[in-house]
């Protein structure tokens, strides 16, 4: 099965590489990371602040229908090269995951296809593994649990 999004996380390492090919021109892909309104749309969070430049800050916040904050994250942009590269820190509020360093590289494949290479470095291998397990914690994928039931019934082949 050809996958559009790939994740590479070697055991015992403290980083993750996420790559994705988009059916979008490079400029549009980059815009999705540059424009606060667009970021809000696809991330599904409020963008309180996003200064797309070197030394700029950003701040995301998601609230539930009663106005309680359920997610918050912020960071600083260290490198901002339009249509090429963004380097920034990322920290989730009230979480034990620490500060992570994110390096985004944008690449043109053809006029209508572009690629994103996202390299995330955590403070430690243990923290990285905790983040990788987040989707379980939030029960994002019920079907995955069912799958594991079946795998557990498989003989060790």
Partner 1 sequence: MNLRRDVFQAIADPTRRAILLLVASQSMTAGAIAANFDTARPTVSKHLQILTECELLQQEQNGREISYHINAKKMKEVADFIEPFRKMWDDRFNKLESVMKKYKTKK
What b/e readout covers 56-94, taking b as 16+ CB neighbours within 10 angstroms? eebebbeeeeeeeeebbbbbbbeebeeeeebbbebebee
Q: How far is the CB of 55 from partner 1 (least distance, A)?
A: 25
- 115 lines the binding site for partner 1 (CB under 8 A): no
Q: How far is the CB of 38 from partner 1 (least distance, A)?
A: 6
Instruction: Give the separation between CA 20 and CA 117, rounded to whole angstroms.
Output: 7
- 155 lines the binding site for partner 1 (CB under 8 A): yes
Is the Cβ of residue 9 or residue 101 nearer to partner 1 in the bound state? 9
- Residues 68-107, one symbol each (x = binds partner 1 by CB under 8 A, - = not), give ----------------------------------------
Please state at what angle helix 26-34 crosses helix 36-43, rounded to 10 degrees: 90
Chain residues 11-30 in contact with partner 1, contact rule CB under 8 A? 18, 20, 22-24, 28-29
Distance of CA 37 to the CA centre of its chain: 17
Count of residues binding partner 1 (CB under 8 A)?
41
């Amino acid at each position: 099965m050809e996958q559009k999004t790939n994740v590479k996380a070697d055991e015992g390492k403290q980083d993750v590489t996420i790559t994705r090919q988009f059916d979008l021109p490079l400029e549009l892909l980059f815009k999705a990371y540059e424009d606060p309104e667009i970021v809000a749309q696809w991330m599904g969070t409020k963008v309180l602040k996003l200064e797309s430049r070197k030394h700029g800050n950003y701040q995301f916040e998601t609230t539930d229908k009663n106005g309680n904050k359920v997610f918050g994250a912020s960071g600083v942009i260290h490198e901002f090269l339009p249509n090429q590269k963004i380097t920034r820190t990322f920290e989730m509020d009230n979480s034990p995951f620490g500060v992570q360093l994110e390096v985004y590289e944008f690449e043109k494949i053809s006029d209508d296809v572009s690629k994103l290479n996202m390299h995330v470095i955590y403070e430690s291998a243990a923290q990285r593994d905790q983040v990788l397990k987040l989707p379980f914690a939030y029960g994002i994928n019920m079907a995955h649990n069912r799958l594991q039931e079946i795998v557990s019934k498989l003989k060790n082949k």
